[in-house]
């Protein structure tokens, strides 16, 4: 990969700034052209991206690349092409003629300018370019900082984008050190988006604050899944498991821990073992398995298991597989009822390890979740309508999935974002378009405006009459 120096980043930033000032309100045709080129870039390089992710992860299923990496970019682009023309239009606002006469007001959807997007390693294509879709649909220029931990994919993405876009429209950069990432945050972006961990996010915010840069943070957290009585069944436990192992659990919306009615715990564990073994008699080494991104994270996950065993927890490999230090693949593990002070309940797993906790009442489960840091996603598994309504209304989280895991954050019509420790702001959907848009108010005053007449100096009886009218009890 061609690493980018700080000087080169400065040049690219200044070039995009100059290009934006020359064309600060791109036409619909210009925006659609950019979205279509990004869509085409994914389609034309389908196999190449499959191979690059396979190289970076040791093993990465090609169909997962199609569905959730390049396919996610294609889906977002197509959705935006259908709606951006409507979203771009100015939004007129009603004014009371008795107060404002013939005055008019509207909100203009104005691009913000030059936007930085810091992409993570777990979705190195999707998180880099689905958001670039949002940013370009809103009329902005974009510089993506690709992840150093996925060098093959980042290099390919840099080349592919350079072949489809002028550097003043969209470009991909990557430095060779943490210092470059920090420097990236210090530029006076018109908006900066970061996807990753909370600790680094604090540094991103500190740097952005120096320039009063608006920031979107897409973080993560320990996403809970609450099973109801009806949810403890083979079909729904299986659905939980095949979403839990997706990308080896290295997904910010992955269900991190499960809560099960206490009297159904043994049944849940047995269902998990039997259904998983039926799906994968041997998972490690299977073509569907995704490797852990590197040895450091592989060792981190195994360390969590060792701590849990030392604390006396039952740790179960669901089909008796063992971790493979060569492929960095880890089998599906569950840790039964760990103490809250253990790492499996303190840290976001980002791996195929699931803690399973019992609860005695549904209210207790909700209270347990809400007393912890607010997760990016929370899931309910069950059919009871009253519990579904209670869960989605009372749980404090970025998004909610009911008998589904992740689609609340993957569908292009829905906003995706966290709250509190799981992030701020959002992308995707109309709300994502607004994230990267300045909503500029425009008020055009008519000569017959009573309010304007009341403001004419020196203030007299007319101004007093207008003020008195505001305080009349109704």
Q: Which among 127, 185, 233, 252 is annotated as catalytic?
A: 252
What is the residue whose two structure tokens read 């403890």?
232
Taking the alpha carbons of 407, 413, 414, 417 in that order, is the dihedral positive or negative?
Answer: positive
Instruction: Identify the CA nearest to 210 among candidates 189, 179, 195, 180.
Output: 189
Tokens for 378? 């929370």
The C-alpha atoms of residue 203 and residue 115 are separated, in whole angstroms, by: 18
> For 346, phi and psi rounded to 5 degrees?
-100, -35
Cα–Cα distances in Å, from 328 out to 46, 154, 221, 284? 25, 21, 23, 9
- Assess whether 252 carries a catalytic annotation: yes
297, 259 Cβ separation under 8 angstroms: no
Q: Which among 218, 233, 313, 426 is annotated as catalytic?
A: 218
CA 228 to the chain's CA centroid: 27
The three-class DSSP label of residue 319 is coil
Cα–Cα distances in Å, from 268 out to 138, 272, 336, 339, 392? 46, 6, 11, 19, 23
Tokens for 143? 């510089």
- Assess whether 218 carries a catalytic annotation: yes
What is the residue whose two structure tokens read 């109704």?
474
Label residues 263-278 b or e (16+ Cβ within 10 Å = b).
ebbeebbebbbebbbe
The C-alpha atoms of residue 183 and residue 323 are separated, in whole angstroms, by: 38
Cα–Cα distances in Å, from 70 out to 253, 409, 463? 18, 16, 62
Q: What is the DSSP string of 24-35?
A: SS--HHHHHHHH
Give the residue numbers marked as catalytic. Answer: 218, 252
């Amino acid at each position: 990969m061609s690493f980018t120096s700080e000087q080169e980043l400065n040049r690219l930033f200044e070039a995009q700034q100059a290009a934006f000032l020359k064309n600060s309100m791109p036409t619909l045709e210009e925006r659609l052209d950019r979205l279509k080129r990004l869509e085409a870039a994914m389609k034309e390089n389908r196999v190449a991206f499959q191979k690059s992710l396979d190289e970076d992860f040791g093993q990465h299923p090609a169909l997962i690349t199609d569905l959730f990496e390049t396919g996610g970019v294609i889906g977002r682009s197509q959705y935006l092409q259908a709606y951006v023309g409507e979203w771009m239009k100015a939004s007129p606002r009603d004014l009371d003629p008795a107060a404002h006469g013939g005055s008019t007001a509207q909100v203009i959807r104005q691009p913000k300018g030059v936007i930085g997007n810091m992409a993570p390693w777990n979705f190195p294509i999707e998180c880099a370019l689905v958001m670039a879709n949002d940013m370009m649909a809103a009329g902005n220029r974009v510089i993506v900082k690709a992840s150093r931990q996925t060098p093959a994919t980042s290099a390919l993405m840099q080349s592919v984008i350079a072949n489809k876009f002028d550097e003043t429209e969209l470009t991909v950069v990557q430095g060779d050190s943490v210092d470059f990432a920090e420097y990236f945050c210090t530029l006076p972006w018109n908006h900066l988006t970061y996807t990753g961990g909370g600790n680094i996010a604090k540094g991103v915010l500190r740097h952005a604050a120096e320039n009063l840069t608006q920031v979107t943070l897409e973080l993560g957290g320990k996403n809970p899944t609450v099973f109801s009585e009806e949810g403890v069944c083979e079909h729904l436990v299986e659905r939980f498991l095949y979403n839990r192992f997706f990308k080896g659990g290295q997904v910010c919306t992955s269900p991190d821990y499960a809560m099960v009615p206490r009297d159904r715990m043994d049944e849940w564990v047995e269902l998990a073992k039997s259904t998983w073994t039926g799906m994968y008699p041997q998972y490690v080494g299977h073509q569907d398995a995704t490797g852990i991104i590197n040895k450091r994270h592989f060792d981190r996950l195994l360390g969590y298991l060792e701590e849990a065993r030392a604390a006396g927890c039952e740790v179960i490999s669901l089909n008796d597989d063992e971790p493979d230090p060569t492929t960095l693949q880890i089998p599906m593990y569950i840790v039964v009822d760990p103490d809250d002070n253990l790492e499996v309940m303190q840290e976001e797993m980002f791996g195929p390890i699931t803690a399973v906790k019992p609860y005695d009442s549904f209210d207790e489960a909700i209270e347990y979740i809400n007393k912890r840091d607010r997760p990016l996603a929370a899931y309910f598994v069950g059919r009871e309508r009253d519990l579904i309504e209670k869960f989605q209304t009372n749980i404090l989280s970025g998004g909610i999935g009911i008998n589904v895991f992740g689609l609340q954050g993957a569908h292009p019509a829905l906003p995706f974002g966290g709250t509190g420790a799981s992030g701020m702001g959002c992308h995707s959907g109309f709300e994502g378009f607004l994230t990267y848009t300045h909503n500029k108010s425009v008020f055009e005053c008519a000569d017959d405006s009573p309010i304007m007449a009341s403001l004419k100096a020196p203030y007299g009886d007319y101004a007093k009459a207008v003020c008195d009218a505001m305080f009349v009890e109704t």
